[in-house]
Amino acid sequence: MRIVFIAGEFPPLQGGLGDFTRELARACRLAGHEVHVFTRAAAGAPDDELLDGVAVHRRVSRWGWATWKQVAGFVQRVRPDVLNVQYQAAAYHMHPAINLLPLILSRRAPVVVTFHDLRTPYLFPKAGPLRRQAILGMACAARAVIVTNVEDDVSLRQAGLREVFRIPIGSNITPADLTGFDRCTWLRCAGSRTQARVQEMNEDAPERVFVVGYFGFLNESKGGETLIRALALLRDRGLDIKLLLIGGQTGDSDPTNQQYAHALMALADELSVRTQILSTGFVDARAVSEAFAACDCVALPYRDGASLRRGTLMAALAHGAAIVTTTPRVELPELQHEENVLLVPADQPAALADAIRRVLTDSELRRRLQAAARRTAALFNWEHIAAETVCVFERARSR
């Protein structure tokens, strides 16, 4: 099968949608399919290249109304068996043009839309219900729709859609082989600004420092304020604790991330915990794995509850982290409190601090959560995800 993925972003641009598309495209190629990715241009990256057998075409300068002609021309040349739009509004600069692509291209190729979330695009001030209609119209015009979590599945089915398929995501970061990795050596190492700062704070005994990790971009939905306030509470309780922000913090698609990150640092200054916050910045996959390995636990206090659509959660599971996160809005059998995660209410710094403290001070609990996280991650491998996705593509072709 010849598959074309439309992706609002793609490496080297930073963003979860791009990383997801990269992994899914690789897995589909390994399964024997011809795979193309049509995406946005990135400074320093070639317009066209072959990555792990996947043909990547970076032809869009900015997503907008001109996108229709660009995508239609590309589809005319490549003639795919199926066209898969990877959708998340922020990855397309909140522009509504992408929402009309399934309708525009319906006569050229079967279109399947993968919704990473149901966040609405920007139309115009006070657009109100029309924004929701932009999502539903996009879903209705597609031959089939893929969602990554229970919440979006229920939402679209309640709106009357029937060709909806739920396929979970996997970790966008493959854990590296860290044979011989030594946490204390990593903490003492002055090879990066983050590591040097840890050395300065506790040069004689870095093993006594508790490190709480956070992975992913900083945005409104991820509970950054709650985490900063919990850090202050743990500091006040006498714990020698550092918060390690793993990876890039703002990304390349959503400008609100940068504003939010500045607001969080202002809060950290107000609570006098700025010196306890460390950041790796954007690093490669191996460095991400090393940072995870240096953490005693990982805190992911999503404001809207833990969800299987969160690539950051999947990465933490894959790295065998002892995870503290927020109670899902809908029951998720894959996440069990006290078994493979600790669950706390959203937007409650005291509850988050209590759970983090439990993990940090109870080594038996920490080891149990770490082992269970690895077992859970095995449920979400890319080979299986690709196979399920291709089944949806074949169904869309046959309709």
CA distance 399 to 394: 9
Strand order in the sheet with 82-87: 48-51, 54-60, 34-40, 2-7, 82-87, 111-115, 144-147, 164-166
Please list, in sequence order, all residues whose beta carbon lies within 8 angstroms of the beta carbon of residue 337, skipping any fewer than 6 positions away.
327, 343
In the prediction, which pLDDT does 204 show?
44
In the prediction, which pLDDT does 283 show?
85
In the prediction, which pLDDT does 196 show?
40
Mean pLDDT by 10 residues, the chain (399 residues): 97 91 97 98 95 96 93 95 95 90 91 90 56 88 94 91 92 91 76 43 58 87 93 94 84 64 90 91 89 95 92 95 95 93 97 97 96 94 96 93
Radius of gyration of the chain (CA): 21
- Torsion angles phi and psi, residue 213, rounded to 5: -95, 150
In the prediction, which pLDDT does 51 show?
95
Distance of CA 229 to the CA centre of its chain: 23
Length of the chain, in residues: 399
Please list, in sequence order, all residues whose beta carbon lies within 8 angstroms of the beta carbon of residue 21, skipping any fewer than 6 positions away.
5, 7, 10, 37, 39, 86
Give CATH for domain 183-377.
Answer: 3.40.50.2000
In the prediction, which pLDDT does 250 show?
60
Q: Where in the chain is the domain with CATH 3.40.50.2000?
A: 2-170+381-398, 183-377
What superfamily in CATH does domain 2-170+381-398 come from? Glycogen Phosphorylase B; (3.40.50.2000)
In the prediction, which pLDDT does 138 show?
94
* pTM of the entire predicted model: 0.81
In the prediction, which pLDDT does 192 show?
45
Distance of CA 131 to the CA centre of its chain: 23
In the prediction, which pLDDT does 193 show?
47
Burial class (CB in 10 A: 0-12, 13-18, 19+), 18: buried
**Residue 154: CA count within 13 A, CB half-sphere:** 6
In the prediction, which pLDDT does 30 show?
97
